[in-house]
Amino acid sequence: MQGKMEVQVYTPENSAVAEPITGVVSFVNNAVEQTTATIRLKATVQNQDRSLWPGQTINVLLTLGVQPKAVVVPSQAVQSGQSGSYAFVVRQDQTAELRIVTVSRSTNGETVIEKGLSPGETVVTDGQLLLTSGARVSVRDQNPVRQESPKK
């Protein structure tokens, strides 16, 4: 574990409040619970207003890391082929270009691209099985490749 991992704690009582209770992970147990594939963590949080109590149900958001300037596309834009992962980019002349991409990770319907795409490019998210490089495409809904800005 490098640096401090921040946690944000929400209780049912403060879930509608904009500011969560914040803290840092103070212990990570490396033993994996086989039945649930989970690990135990302990976090240290300030409880000045005594809103946290033993046995209380809470929701915790754990930020594992932040990747500034990450290239992110909708997950349905990334396809798998014999040469690995690829995506179709819409060129300015409205034709498709197949690009081999390196996927970093996928979560919540979004995929982080390590290499192969640039911010601002438009990717194809529907009908890829009918496409070949150079085929004409029509853009119905713009889904430009975006660059994640650092979260503060």
* Same domain for 82 and 36: no
The region of weakest confidence among 7-21, 23-37, 74-88, 106-120 is 7-21
CA–chain centroid gap for 33, Å, is: 24
Domain count within the chain = 2
Tens digit of each residue's pLDDT (9 = 90 or more) over 132-150:
999 999 877 665 566 665 5
Confidence of residue 79 (pLDDT cuts 50, 70, 90): very high
The DSSP secondary structure of 21-86, one letter per residue, reads: EEEEEEEE----BTTTTB--EEEEE--TT----TT---EEEE-----TT-EEEEGGG-EEETTEEE
Instruction: Determine, yes or no, domain membership for 35.
Output: yes
Q: What is the pTM of this model?
A: 0.62
Mean pLDDT of the chain: 86
Is position 1 within any domain?
Answer: no
Q: Is residue 137 part of a domain?
A: yes
Q: Does residue 152 form part of some domain? A: no
What residues make up the domain containing 82? Answer: 71-147
The pLDDT tens digits for 1-44 are 457 888 888 877 666 665 788 899 999 898 999 998 888 889 99
Domain end among 62, 80, 108:
62
In a domain, 79, yes or no: yes
Average pLDDT score over residue span 38-63: 86
Between residues 20 and 89, the one the model is more confident about: 89
The whole-number average pLDDT for the span 111-134 is 93
Residue 88: name the closest of 130, 124, 48, 141 by CA.
Answer: 124
Instruction: Please tell me whether residues 102 and 139 are part of one structural domain.
Output: yes
- In a domain, residue 34? The reply is yes
Q: Are 144 and 78 in contact (CB under 8 A)?
A: no
Residues 92 and 115 in one domain: yes
